[in-house]
Structures are given as C-alpha cells and as structure tokens.
Amino acid sequence: MNHPPPPPHVQADAFLAEAAALLGVRGLTTDPERVDAWLTDWRGRYTGRALALASPASTAEVAALVKLCAAHGVPIVPQGGNSGMAGGATPDATGTAILLSLRRMDRIRHVDPATGQAVCEAGVILQSLHDAADAAGLRFPLTLGGKGSATIGGLIATNAGGTQVLRHGTMRAQVLGLEAVLASGEVLDLMTPLKKDNRGFDLKQLLIGSEGTLGIVTTACLRLLPAPIGRATAWVGLGGIVDARTLLRQMERALGEALEGFEVVPAHCLASVLAHQPTARAPLTEPHEWNALIECVSPSQDSAALRERLEAGLGTALEQGLIADAVIAANDTQAEAFWALRDGISAAERALGPAMQHDISVPVEKMPEFIIAAAPAIEAAFPGTRAVAFGHLGDGNVHFHVLAPEGAVRGVWEEADGKDVSARVYDLVTEWGGSISAEHGIGQMKVEELARLHDPVALALMAQVKAALDPDNLLNPGKLLLNPPAREAARLARTAAKA
C-alpha cells in the first residue's frame, strides 16, 4: 500500500533532525547569522538558499552526511573558502540543498621534507600550506590571489591555476593522491602517492576539476618542492604582443627550468593601475604598448647568478631590437612592487566602471594573433567599449576584460549589453579553438555558455559520466553541467540552430 509522501517541510525537518544528530551543534546550523555569509559568492554575483550549513569534522562525517542526503534525496553543494570565480560553491535559490562546508577539516597531517610531500585535509587554506612548507624549508608551487581563503579542496575541485603554471602546472600537477566521498557515501581512497600506477582508469584525474559534481574531495597528498634559493624579476617594455611571444620563446631557451612566470600587461592596464594606486610607480621611464613581467626562480642558483642569466637574455633581446627597454628588480621589495602592478589590474579596471571579465585560453602560439583580432572585433561590435587582455601569456591564458562605454551604469550594463559582449567573446574563443574557462572553472556562471559552445560529443560524454557516478544528480547539481531537463533543452536548441 502506497502512502502519499509527506509535504516537503516535514521531509526537510526529518532530514535536518538526523543530520543534527549526526554532526552535533558545531557541525550543523540553520542560524542565518552563521549561514548567510556563505550563501553569496565572494564577487557578490550569486546568492542562494540552503536547508542548513553542514560542517563535518572528518571524512567519516562527510560520508555519513552524504549517505543521509542520498537517502533523503537532498542535493549537496560543497564549499571550501568560498573564493571561487564562477559561482560553483553557491547553492541555487530553491533552498532544497544543504551547503557542505569543508572548512572544519583544516589539519595539515604532515609535511615531509624527505619525500617532498604534504598531506592536507580539504579545508586547509592555501596560505597555511605555504607557511607550513616554508617552515620545513620547502615550497608548494601554486599560488593565486585568493590564497588567504582558498582551500586545498576547492583548489583541487576547480583545478586552480595562478601565476606559476608556466613552470609548475595547475593544481592537477600538484596532486599526488586524494580521498573523496562519492555520491553513494562511499569513500574512494587514492591517497597512496605512487609515481607509476597503471591499474586502470585514472580516477584521480577524473575527480580533479570536476567541481564537486562527481565526488567531494576530503583529503589530498600534495607535492612540495625545495625552497628557492635565487630569484630574479624583470619588467620589460615592448612594442607589440607578437614580440612578447618571441621574447617568451627566447627566455624559455635562455632560462630553461628557472623561468617561472611570464605575464603581459598592455599600456592601458598599467596606466589604470598607476592612476588607481597613488604610490605605484612605473618601472620604466617611457610608456610602452606592451609590458612583460618575467619571474625566474631557482632551487640551486642564487639571485646574483639568476639575475646575470636574465640580464644576458634581455641584453640579446635589446640588441636585436625585440624589446625597447627593461629593468631587473634590484631586490625582493622591487620585485614585489612589479608584481603589485600586475596584481592591481583587476581592481584598477573595476574602478573605471562596469566591465565584463573573461578567463580564456587559446594555444600559446596563437594568443598574440587572437588578441590582435579579437580586441578590435569586440570594440567594433560594441561601440564605446574597450577590450584589454592581460595575464599569463606563457600559458596561453589571458584575462580578457571588456570595459563598458563611458557613462554605462554599473549593475545595468552588465545584465544588458554585457551578456552579449561575453557571448561574442566566447564565440571568438571557440572559433580559435580555445577554452571559455582557462582556470576559473564553469560553476554556474558559464554552465549555459558551455552547453551552447562546447563540443557536443564531449558534453554528451561528460553527461554520461555524471549520470553514472551520480545517478540522482545530488552532487552540486546544475554546476558545470546543466541539470538533465535543461541539458536536453540546450541540446535541442543547438540542433535547431544548426538546422
């Protein structure tokens, strides 16, 4: 005999009572004062609702909670430092999901200089790992602006990038082992770090970058490198972005493994930063169309030796007429000042007015031509806008910002013309064989654009994997991939557009 299901609030009450019994007072709260701050992403673009905020203290508690959610059909939105750029950790507006914070799982279990490994729980903050590695004479070779709040679990879930990818790779390259709770509540233990392991599909790689849609990372074993001994940093003035690529290749040859960062900054961005930060100073006497910021680090050569190699390489480039001017930082303070110019771009551009920001990549060797073609195309299509590209040229990844026309109203322009601008930028990137998300992930921000523009074969494959591993669609639903009904609608729309 079938009873009708109880009304939703009764179901939720039963679930919450069981969850509270499981997690205790510290582990579960519905108090708006403790929950609300985590329901909006840090850029303030997305706000959602949740049944409660769960903060389990251990993998076992995460697993038990996921089993409970599976039994009650409660969706789960995992969250680390809530510093993601794509709304991937913000629940939707229905309030049916539970927000699962990993922040209480913040132990660094060990840092081992002998093996060059660290074992961290998912909630460890990146800065804490940097500090722990540093104290052991080691270094964790990934860093980014949000290091004071971003967690190891979130960095793995989004395969985070940053400014050292050129040399050390993204988060994917740092993960030696991981542990994750699956949709069933089972624990997948891939923690033993093996340099070679060909026992079937690489499930670790499948979970990295899956944004909490296939499993919840609870612990990781990460690689550490010897602490650097030497450092050399240069600011270079160039006439064009094609020359910047030539310089990149020459620097790769001249500096080899020591070349760790190669960022480009157009004149407009530098001028914005200088105007925005009263104490900032231009590194070179004259302005240049383009600037390159070059960072070299070595675990074996000292700073003097590195500066000598960098100087020799830049000297050759100067003689060739490839670069117009260059200055090598005399010390760490000056190097940090150069980086502050680079890191200050986003804030300075924001101060100028509304803008659409795009984290995109194309093959490294095509990036200059892409910028040369795409910036004027966007400016022509949207009169009054200004398109600027800056960032990780060495990774083929720039932040492509489109500034609104003068007088555009913040909060209005973004939702109107801004959306069209973004669609056009993503169209262009796709035409060039690039990625609409180089390092920030898809989250909820780009999920519709991914459905519109990504290879249908790849999309279908991802949907198959998702359905197989999370058949009830409870793990971060609607992030990265549209929910099944929306996915089908998008597929039909794509087919219709082609016909």
Site for its own copies in 366-395 (CB under 8 A): 392, 395
59 SS3 class = helix
Residue closer to its own copies, measured from CB, 97 or 155: 155
Q: In whole angstroms, give the CA distance from residue 151 to residue 160.
A: 11
Q: Is 437 in the site for its own copies (CB under 8 A)?
A: yes
User: What residues have CB less than 8 Å from 283, skipping those under 6 apart?
Assistant: 235, 291, 327, 337, 338, 341
Residue closer to its own copies, measured from CB, 201 or 383: 201
Write out the binding residues for its own copies, residues 330-359 only, by CB under 8 A: none
Q: Is 438 in the site for its own copies (CB under 8 A)?
A: yes
Q: Is 230 in the site for its own copies (CB under 8 A)?
A: no
Residue closer to its own copies, measured from CB, 12 or 232: 232
Q: Is 450 in the site for its own copies (CB under 8 A)?
A: yes
Tell me the per-residue interface mask from 91 to 120 with its own copies, x by CB under 8 A, - otherwise. Answer: -----------------------xx-----
Are the C-beta atoms of 126 and 63 separated by less than 8 Å?
A: no
Q: Is 137 in the site for its own copies (CB under 8 A)?
A: no
Q: In whole angstroms, give the CA distance from residue 276 to residue 225.
A: 36
Total residues at interface with its own copies (CB under 8 A) = 74
The least CB distance from residue 458 to its own copies, in Å, is 6
Are the C-beta atoms of 82 and 38 separated by less than 8 Å?
A: yes
Residue closer to its own copies, measured from CB, 116 or 344: 116
Which range of residues in 144-152, 274-282, 336-344, 428-436 is near its own copies by CB under 8 A?
A: 428-436
Q: Binder to its own copies among 145, 148, 363, 376 (CB under 8 A)?
A: 363
Residue 197 to residues 180, 194, 215, Cα–Cα distance (Å): 18, 6, 21
Helix axes 241-255, 303-319, angle to 10 degrees: 140
Q: Is 279 in the site for its own copies (CB under 8 A)?
A: no
Q: In whole angstroms, give the CA distance from residue 112 to residue 107.
A: 15
Which range of residues in 123-131, 277-285, 332-340, 360-368 is near its own copies by CB under 8 A?
A: 360-368
Which range of residues in 134-142, 280-288, 402-410, 451-459 is near its own copies by CB under 8 A?
A: 451-459
What type of residue is 183? A
The least CB distance from residue 17 to its own copies, in Å, is 29
Residue closer to its own copies, measured from CB, 186 or 332: 186
Write out the binding residues for its own copies, residues 468-487 only, by CB under 8 A: 468-469, 480-481
The least CB distance from residue 146 to its own copies, in Å, is 15
Q: Is 16 in the site for its own copies (CB under 8 A)?
A: no
Write out the binding residues for its own copies, residues 141-200 only, by CB under 8 A: 158-159, 161, 165, 170, 172, 182, 186-190, 192-200
Structure tokens at 218: 């609870």
Structure tokens at 464: 């198959």
98 SS3 class = strand
The least CB distance from residue 112 to its own copies, in Å, is 8
What type of residue is 13? D
Q: Binder to its own copies among 45, 49, 107, 454 (CB under 8 A)?
A: 454
What type of residue is 438? A
496 SS3 class = helix
Cα angle for residues 103, 106, 110 (degrees, 5° grid): 160
Q: Is 464 in the site for its own copies (CB under 8 A)?
A: yes
The least CB distance from residue 51 to its own copies, in Å, is 27
Residue of 269, 221, 226 lying closest to 390 (CA atoms): 269
Are the C-beta atoms of 413 and 404 separated by less than 8 Å?
A: yes
DSSP string, 151-188: BHHHHHHTT---TTHHHH--HHHHEEEEEEEETTS-EE
